[in-house]
Amino acid sequence: MLKAKSRNPDIQSCYRAIPSVQELLQSGDLQAYGIAQPYLKQLIQAEIELFREQIPREKKLSPAAIPGQLRKHIARRLERLTRRSLKRVINATGIILHTNMGRAPLAGAALQAIAETAEHYNNLEIDLTTGKRGQRNSHVEELLCLITGAEAAMIVNNCAAAIFLVLNSLCRRKEVPVSRGELVEIGGSFRMPDVMKAGGAKMVEIGTTNKTHLRDYENALSPRTGALLKVHTSNFRILGFTREAGLAELVELAHRQGLPLLYDMGSGVIEDLRQWGYPPEPVTREVLAEGVDVVTFSGDKILGGPQAGIIAGKKVFLDKIRKNHLARALRCDKLIYAAMEATLRLYLQPENLPEHLPVAVMLNCPVETLRRRAETVAATAAGSGLNIAVVETFSQMGSGALPLEQIPSIALKITAGGISPVRLSQRLRANDPPIAGYVQEDALFLNLRTIREDELPLIETALRNLVTER
């Protein structure tokens, strides 16, 4: 307290200047936020306590200014609580499956299905023919089996949960050989070895980082082996002096030993990307056709659906996985099923995906179309105090699949005299709706490949106002 008095001799006057809780409760500007009295009182008390703690640390503080400052603190907190935290963001990064921005945007059919399902009661777990309890997985299983060629399929809440449940159901307390070069780390520092351990399987590392031979799997086999596991390195590539056991020989080895071969495909490609001019990635139906017993992959990446982990493969193993009591803990809700069913139906006409599935739309948009859009935006924003150039650049898939592929794209390169590109970026993120670009080469870039055509007017308006004093 002595130290505090030396910095602010009038500290007691400052404490006395703090309005009472009752006085603040009756303040019309705070009541205007529409918060019920008990909650408003709780917030006011908390802010008063924080304000009191700050007073001794302030070098200069006028008692007369304290009521106004405290009201501002409370108002800012109320503003934060009464506006949406999860909001729309315009993705101008060029990363199509941006994990921090929710990965794949959903198709219109999926949005409609979510709205109808959310608004009304539904047949999530009721068989409308018999009137008895049904299975929620029935809404997507037949579609998944048709599209992937699997005998059976189910979904859980994400891909990490999918591989966890598979291992826990088929390999608990058993050894599972896996190549060192496939021990991937996914987003949020979740690592395959940790997922395997949590699932109850004992990981047996085989081979080296860059080379794993079939004999390495053979040498790891023991009476305690529960399965062989292959992990698709969908978010990185090892190049140069490399070797990995082929899928066909792993299938033969596993089945010769009476073991299932599990394949975590990560992103999971349903339609061959080569038809759209991209490098080959493992296609689910081709993998299963080679004899893999169970595959797992994500629903919100290349598939273009909601967050989910898809498990597909042979019925004998899916039946065991379904009976695991943890399947209930990892199950998806009605909105995920609605969105996934609607998304999967789009795959029944794969030739129309570039028109209706947002991920496919972005992948297939011609560079010249992006260039025309960029030139229109640049011309509209001319005279706003910005220097805007239309430049060639690249986009990325992101979140696994095509990790090294640079997708040709067009960007707006933006600079402004007296305003740093970092500050320009901050201002765009404060826009309504926020616009997320990226800074490099001492400039702000907005990549057109991930900007929807109907978002261009919003970009134009934001750029015209970007150098306005704030």
| Residue numbers of the domain that contains 434 | 90-97+362-464
Concatenated DSSP letters of 196-228 = HHHTT-EEEEES-SSB--HHHHHHH--TTB--E
Q: What's the chain's average pLDDT?
A: 91
Higher per-residue pLDDT: 1 or 405? 405
Is residue 103 a part of any domain in this protein?
no
Is residue 409 a part of any domain in this protein?
yes
Is residue 235 a part of any domain in this protein?
yes
Is residue 469 a part of any domain in this protein?
no
Higher per-residue pLDDT: 7 or 113? 113
Per-residue pLDDT reduced to its tens digit, 136-161: 999 999 999 999 999 999 999 999 99
- pLDDT in the model for residue 242: 66
221 to 170, 203, 205, 213, 448: CA distances (angstroms) = 16, 12, 12, 14, 51
Per-residue pLDDT reduced to its tens digit, 12-59: 888 999 999 999 999 999 999 999 999 999 999 999 999 999 888 877
Any idea what DSSP says for residue 283? B
Mean pLDDT of 83-95: 95
- pLDDT in the model for residue 1: 37
Mean pLDDT of 391-406: 82
pLDDT class for 234, splitting at 50, 70, 90? low
Mean pLDDT of 249-267: 95
246 and 337, same domain (yes or no) = yes
377 and 286, same domain (yes or no) = no
Query: How many percent of the chain have pLDDT more than 90?
Result: 79
For the cut 80, the answer to whether the pLDDT of residue 393 exceeds it is: yes
420 and 452, same domain (yes or no) = yes
311 and 289, same domain (yes or no) = yes
Is residue 236 a part of any domain in this protein?
yes
- pLDDT in the model for residue 2: 38
| 102 torsion bin: left (phi>0), alpha (psi -120 to 50), beta (else) | left
Higher per-residue pLDDT: 64 or 346? 346
400 and 277, same domain (yes or no) = no
182 to 91, 178, 206, 230, 245: CA distances (angstroms) = 31, 7, 10, 7, 12
Pair 345, 143: CB distance under 8 Å: yes
How many distinct structural domains can be found in the chain? Answer: 3
Q: Could you tell me which of 407, 412, 408, 409 has the C-alpha nearest to residue 390?
A: 412
Cα–Cα distance, 323 to 317 (Å, whole number): 10
- pLDDT in the model for residue 300: 95
Mean pLDDT of 305-318: 98
Mean pLDDT of 421-450: 96
Pair 155, 310: CB distance under 8 Å: yes
Burial classification of residue 222, based on how many CB atoms lie within 10 Å of its CB (0-12 exposed, 13-18 middle, 19 or more buried): exposed
Is residue 470 a part of any domain in this protein?
no
Is residue 102 a part of any domain in this protein?
no
Edge-to-edge strands of the sheet including 443-447? Answer: 387-395, 407-415, 443-447, 438-440
b/e 395-433 (16+ beta carbons within 10 angstroms → b): bbbbbbbbbeeebebbbbbbbbeeeebeebbebbeebee
| Last residue of one domain, picked from the residues 327, 356, 385 | 356
346 and 373, same domain (yes or no) = no
Q: Could you tell me which of 159, 117, 59, 83 has the C-alpha nearest to residue 433?
A: 83
Peptide bond into 434 cis (omega under 30): no
Q: Which residues, 6+ apart, have CB-to-CB distance to 70 below 8 Å?
A: 18, 19, 24, 47, 48, 51
The amino acid at 70:
L
Burial classification of residue 229, based on how many CB atoms lie within 10 Å of its CB (0-12 exposed, 13-18 middle, 19 or more buried): buried
Cα–Cα distance, 260 to 250 (Å, whole number): 10
- What global pTM score does this model have? 0.90
Percentages helix, strand, coil for the chain (3-state, rounded to 5) are: 45, 15, 35
Pair 176, 225: CB distance under 8 Å: yes
Structure tokens at 244: 């990995």
- pLDDT in the model for residue 236: 58
Which residue shows structure tokens 């081709």? 286
Mean pLDDT of 395-409: 81
Query: How many percent of the chain have pLDDT more than 70?
Result: 93
Q: Could you tell me which of 280, 303, 285 has the C-alpha nearest to residue 359?
A: 303
171 and 303, same domain (yes or no) = yes
Strands of 258-405 (E only): list them.
Answer: 261-266, 294-298, 309-313, 387-395
Cα–Cα distance, 325 to 261 (Å, whole number): 23
- pLDDT in the model for residue 266: 86
Please report, for the domain that includes residue 316, its CATH number: 3.40.640.10
149 and 45, same domain (yes or no) = no
349 and 371, same domain (yes or no) = no
167 and 314, same domain (yes or no) = yes
- pLDDT in the model for residue 243: 72
65 and 178, same domain (yes or no) = no
For the cut 90, the answer to whether the pLDDT of residue 182 exceeds it is: no
Q: Half-sphere exposure of 355 toward its Cβ, with a 13 Å CA cutoff?
A: 5
- pLDDT in the model for residue 191: 80
